Amino acid sequence: MAKEKIIIFGNSDIAQLANYYFETDSNYEVVAFTVDGGYISSDTFEGKPLIPFGVIDKTYPPSQFKMFIALSYTNMNKLRETKYHEAKAKGYTLVSYISSHCSYL
C-alpha 66/C-alpha 59 separation (Å) is 13
Which numeric CATH code is attached to 4-90?
3.40.50.20
Query: In which band, very low, low, confident or very high, does the pLDDT at 76 lie, cut at 50, 70 and 90?
Result: low
Higher pLDDT, 103 or 34: 34
C-alpha 45/C-alpha 10 separation (Å) is 9
Query: In which band, very low, low, confident or very high, does the pLDDT at 88 lie, cut at 50, 70 and 90?
Result: very high
Total-model pTM = 0.86
